């Protein structure tokens, strides 16, 4: 199967259809993915571990358990080796954002799941930028970067999904995406 990128006209049509419908907020991210046909794919790599993942994780209306397991292991806490189930809605947001940006480039994943030990250590060493009850702790968040797109472009694409939290960290050159409440922050 080949994936045809959304062109501007199709994107506007999908956006109009999903923004008019009275549906749960995740419908917007799913709406952007409808243009992907009967499959959803995510590409990521980790500079920390040297690992990469390029996997179709949803086909014909169903998540593929083996693919989600591969994503769970890839997005583990690299400091402790601990892995938990990553909420597939977070992957959907990242996938939909990549389609909106019309990029086939893999994301550089900076942070997926964080164990409580890692989150506490980051809070001590990085100060106020790390939340005590971070959604990273429950597998509902990812911090991502793309070489070919600016932080602002990534941020705008993720915000357009209207499907969760989006944080812009321009100085650190990454965007936070999560499947929690719809909200935006950053500079």
At 23 the pLDDT is: 32
> How high is the mean pLDDT of the chain?
84
Q: Which stretch of 4-8, 104-108, 156-160, 178-182 has the lowest confidence by average pLDDT?
A: 4-8
> How confident is residue 17, by pLDDT bands cut at 50, 70 and 90?
very low
Instruction: Supply the pLDDT for residue 128.
Output: 67
Residue 174: in which H helix or E strand, if any? Answer: strand 174-178
Say what the pTM is: 0.79
Q: Dump strand ranges (E) for 5-76.
A: 39-45, 52-59, 62-63
Residue 33 has pLDDT above 70, yes or no: no
**Least confident interval from 34-38, 49-53, 54-58, 92-96:** 34-38
Q: Provide mean pLDDT across the span 39-56.
A: 96
pLDDT (0 to 100) of residue 30: 53
Domain residue limits, the chain = 8-186
* pLDDT over 70 percentage in the chain: 79
Is residue 155 within 8 Å of 168, Cβ to Cβ? yes
pLDDT, position 37: 59
Q: What is the CATH number of domain 8-186?
A: 3.30.1380.10
pLDDT 10s digits, 98-139: 999 999 999 999 999 999 999 989 888 886 677 878 999 999
* Rounded Cα distance, 62 and 69, in Å: 14
**Which strands, in side-by-side order, build the sheet including 39-45?**
62-63, 52-59, 39-45, 107-111, 141-145, 174-178, 165-169, 183-186
Taking residues 76-85, report their average pLDDT. Answer: 96
């Amino acid at each position: 199967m080949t994936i045809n990128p959304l062109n501007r006209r199709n994107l506007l049509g999908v956006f109009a259809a999903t923004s008019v419908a009275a549906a749960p907020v995740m419908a917007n991210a799913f709406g952007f993915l409808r243009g992907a046909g009967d499959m959803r794919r995510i590409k990521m790599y980790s500079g920390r571990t040297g690992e990469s993942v390029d996997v179709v994780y949803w086909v014909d209306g169903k998540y593929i358990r083996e693919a989600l397991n591969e994503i769970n292991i890839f997005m583990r806490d690299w400091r402790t080796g601990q892995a938990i189930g990553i909420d597939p809605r977070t992957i959907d947001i990242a996938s939909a954002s990549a389609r909106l940006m019309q990029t086939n480039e893999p994301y550089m994943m900076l942070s997926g799941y964080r164990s409580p030990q890692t989150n506490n250590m980051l809070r001590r060493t990085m100060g106020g930028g790390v939340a005590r009850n971070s959604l990273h702790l429950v597998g509902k968040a990812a911090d991502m970067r793309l070489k070919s797109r600016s932080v602002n472009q990534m941020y705008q694409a993720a915000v357009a999904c209207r499907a969760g939290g989006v944080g812009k960290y321009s100085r650190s050159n990454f965007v936070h995406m999560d499947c929690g409440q719809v909200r935006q922050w950053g500079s």
